[in-house]
Copies of this chain bind each other. A is one copy, B any other.
Amino acid sequence: MRVLPDVAVKRLPVYLRALGEMQAGGQGIVSSAELAARTGLTSEQIRKDLAMLGGFGTRGVGYRIDTLGASIRAVLGLDREVPVALVGAGHLGTALSRYNQSRRQQPRIVAAFDAEPTKVGQQIGAATVRAMEELAGVIAALGIRMAIIAVPAPAAQMVADQLAVAGCDVLLNFAPVRLALPDGVRVHNVDLAMELEALAYYVRPDLPVNPGR
């Protein structure tokens, strides 16, 4: 298979979200211009991305929403079970696990771990919280390669090391710390503060009244 560039991979869920909304609204066909209006990306970019997936559009007609959605899901590997481990069953971890369960979609959080003994045995979303000592065994047994780090910053590096040793090579890190990991382990950092920082621009008192959406 052809390996897609990271920036294109990141855009695929954006398309999925827009397609899902249109489908929920009863729409069957979509043009790249409509997708552009809904996603904020350019038509050109969208046509390029979708052509890379195999090109489903009919010139002057558009894309079939169901076929395109299924193809994107297949490219992302969302047409099969994608089990995820969650480390950290605090407020953020609990919110993530519940939200994940409510979506009933892939990837799915199937295992949760916390260092706090009082949390072990609790049910958060679809997962039961287990002790950190069980992490390696459970991850191996379930064949988990993806994990979410939702622990306080000082614990994040140690948790990441444990996950890497256990065989997880794709990590989603919510802790505000830069993790050092062996080659071959991919870390994606989510920093919730960055969203707020970018939005601050739009409440600058000297900005002309809200320039678009």
A interface residues, Cβ below 8 angstroms from B:
1, 3-4, 6, 9-10, 12-14, 16-17, 21, 40, 75-78, 82, 84, 90-92, 94-96, 98-100, 103, 105-107, 145-146, 148, 169-170, 172, 176, 178, 183-188, 190-213
Contact B77 A203 (CB under 8 A): yes
Residue of B nearest to A190 (CB): B195
Contact B95 A201 (CB under 8 A): no
List B contacts of A203 (CB < 8 A).
77, 82, 145-146, 169-170
Q: Tell me the smallest distance from the CB of A55 to a CB of chain B, in Å.
A: 19
Given known contacts A107-B197, A198-B76, A210-B169, is B96 in contact with A192 (CB within 8 Å)?
yes
Given known contacts A13-B194, A91-B92, A95-B90, is B210 in contact with A107 (CB within 8 Å)?
no
Contact A207 B3 (CB under 8 A): yes
Given contacts A77-B201, A100-B196, A170-B202, 13 further A-B contacts (CB under 8 A): A1-B206, A1-B207, A3-B208, A10-B198, A13-B197, A76-B200, A77-B203, A77-B204, A78-B200, A106-B200, A170-B210, A186-B199, A186-B202
Given known contacts A17-B194, A91-B92, A209-B184, is B146 in contact with A200 (CB within 8 Å)?
yes
CA distance A40 to B6 in the complex (A): 9
CA distance A10 to B16 in the complex (A): 21
CA distance A106 to B185 in the complex (A): 32
